[in-house]
Amino acid sequence: MRKVAVLGATGSIGTSALDVIARHPQRFRASVLAAHRSVDALAELCLRFEPDLAVIADPALEAELARRLRQAGLKTLAASGSEALNQAAAGELCDTVVAAIVGAAGLESTLAAARAGKRLLLANKEAIVMAGPLLLAALETGGGELLPVDSEHNALFQALPPAAASRRGGLDAAGVNRLILTASGGPFRGRSRAELGAITPEQAVAHPNWSMGRKISVDSASLMNKGLEVIEAHFLFGAPAERIDVVVHPQSIVHSLVEYADGSVLAQLGNPDMRTALAYGLAWPQRLDAGVKPLDLIALGRLDFQPPDLDTFRCLGLAYAALRAGGTAPTVLNAANEVAVAAFLDGQLPFLAISEVIEACLDEIPPEPVANLAQLIQTDLTARATAQRMMRRLHC
Ligand code: NAD
Ligand code: MG
């Protein structure tokens, strides 16, 4: 029986993870559930899953959570704050952690789980973009497994030989030429910059193939999601920028591909449903029913592939630039993007200005070699303050 901590339990990934867990009660138990501020949703989940511990990130809400749990007659303990979250991720109550908090807020609990040797199902891509070298070091220290849940990286993990999938052997030793990430292109695929001037948050979060949280939906619309994923692939599989390509594939059926030296290309296909990657990570190396609809190739009929439009969607190029610059540049990229996306969702920043803010931050803050967590947290704060300043200067 795996005891699973679902961090970000009330979100899109958290909900999908709990759906897979609920389908296999003999194999998995949701022993820890954590969320940000949604006490109602977290309390509901506690009623359904009866975890040992529920963590609400906002300390002001702990008393209310505890009251709800008591009222329902549950034995579930309530805790709050980031320290409680880190302890839950590293503690005895779980052996597996689904890192599904959105943004840099998930970094420390992800690191704590890695350091403690848990099986880490990584959805929180911002954590590895912000602190890739530290996450890899924490995994080394802890000796646990990392199972990528991001659908593209899960596909690459499945299409690579085991040693290369877990960085134990290099890509050259495995005969790998290139990693090819697929991108849906988002809701604005095919549009020009001129057509993106007046985009609203509602238009940006309406993704054609996937139902996801608001932040990642905007990232998908700007292609920053793919940019973050290029950096994620670099750290997960040790591939340099020039060996990671992006191809737009509007149907989101081919989740990514590995090109080998002999001309073979191995891909993983499936309907766009995150439960496939989550079930894979939970059960690995076995396979489980994830509740996902079987793929009907005849009904699909065709699969299309196109180059990404880097002139319209500048965020993808900025992410490659940050990866090439190295050191703390991805940390700056991620922080500036989080600030700009939040401002866009708040109606304070035009869609096209997201890339301008990020570019200005990358220009202003010179990259340094990654040293430690304190340095990265400081870089993250500096980049956030710089992004706010750039937004005032540029548009607001
Ligand atoms: P979401 O917005 O639906 O859910 C986010 C979750 O994180 C919620 O449970 C929320 O309560 C929690 N949270 C937010 N801020 C927090 C904080 N400060 N402290 C503690 N908890 C906090 O987001 P999502 O779509 O589920 O995405 C989660 C992560 O998974 C993101 O990093 C995203 O990039 C990644 N991801 C998502 C998908 C997808 O299909 N949704 C696919 C691949 C990767
Ligand atoms: Mg993805």
Q: What local confidence, expressed as pLDDT, does residue 225 receive?
A: 98
**Would 310 be classed as within a structural domain?**
no
124 labelled binding-site residue: yes
User: What is the reported pTM?
Assistant: 0.98
Q: What local confidence, expressed as pLDDT, does residue 396 receive?
A: 56
Q: Six-digit token pair at 224?
A: 């920053």
Q: How far apart are CA 77 and CA 52, in angstroms?
A: 6
**Would 305 be classed as within a structural domain?**
no
Q: Half-sphere exposure of residue 44, counting CA atoms within 13 Å on the CB side?
A: 9
Q: Which domain holds residue 345?
A: 315-394
83 labelled binding-site residue: no
Q: What local confidence, expressed as pLDDT, does residue 303 receive?
A: 98
Write down the H helix ranges in the chain.
12-23, 39-49, 62-71, 82-90, 107-115, 125-142, 151-159, 162-165, 201-205, 214-222, 224-237, 275-283, 297-300, 314-325, 329-345, 353-364, 373-394
Residues 388 and 360 in one domain: yes
Q: What local confidence, expressed as pLDDT, does residue 207 receive?
A: 85
- Where on the phi/psi map is residue 288: left (φ > 0), alpha (ψ -120 to 50), or beta? beta
Q: What local confidence, expressed as pLDDT, does residue 291 receive?
A: 98
**Would 229 be classed as within a structural domain?**
yes
Q: Using a CB cutoff of 5 Å, list residues around ligand 2, an ion.
A: 150-152
Residues 190 and 295 in one domain: yes
Residues 147, 149, 154: CA angle, nearest 5 degrees: 75
| Single residue among 249, 271, 300 that ends a domain in this structure | 300
> Residue with the nearest Cα to atom 36 of ligand 1?
123
Residue 80 belongs to a domain with what CATH number? 3.40.50.720
> Cα 146 from chain centroid?
13
Q: What local confidence, expressed as pLDDT, does residue 394 receive?
A: 80
Distance in Å, CA 124 to ligand 1 centroid: 7
| Single residue among 242, 268, 300 that ends a domain in this structure | 300
- Over the stretch 80-113, which tens digit does the pLDDT of each residue have? 999 999 999 999 999 999 999 999 999 999 999 9
**Would 55 be classed as within a structural domain?**
yes
Our answer on whether the CB atom of 248 is closer than 6 Å to any ligand 1 atom is no
Residues 141 and 7 in one domain: yes
**Would 306 be classed as within a structural domain?**
no
Residues 111 and 164 in one domain: no
SS3 372: coil
Residues 211 and 189 in one domain: yes
Segments of the chain with pLDDT less than 50: none
152 labelled binding-site residue: yes
Measured from the Cα of 58, ligand 1's closest atom is 19
Residue 382 belongs to a domain with what CATH number? 1.10.1740.10
Residues 144 and 6 in one domain: yes
ipTM: 0.99
**Would 209 be classed as within a structural domain?**
yes
Residues 144 and 212 in one domain: no
**Would 251 be classed as within a structural domain?**
yes
Q: How far apart are CA 223 and CA 219, in angstroms?
A: 6
Q: How many structural domains does the chain have?
A: 3
Residues 275 and 179 in one domain: yes
Cβ proximity of 392 and 366 under 8 Å: no
Q: How far apart are CA 113 and CA 76, in angstroms?
A: 21
How crowded is residue 261: how many other Cβ atoms within 10 Å of its Cβ? 10
| Single residue among 267, 300, 333 that ends a domain in this structure | 300
Cβ proximity of 125 and 229 under 8 Å: yes
> Cα 244 from chain centroid?
18
Q: What local confidence, expressed as pLDDT, does residue 40 receive?
A: 97
**Would 383 be classed as within a structural domain?**
yes
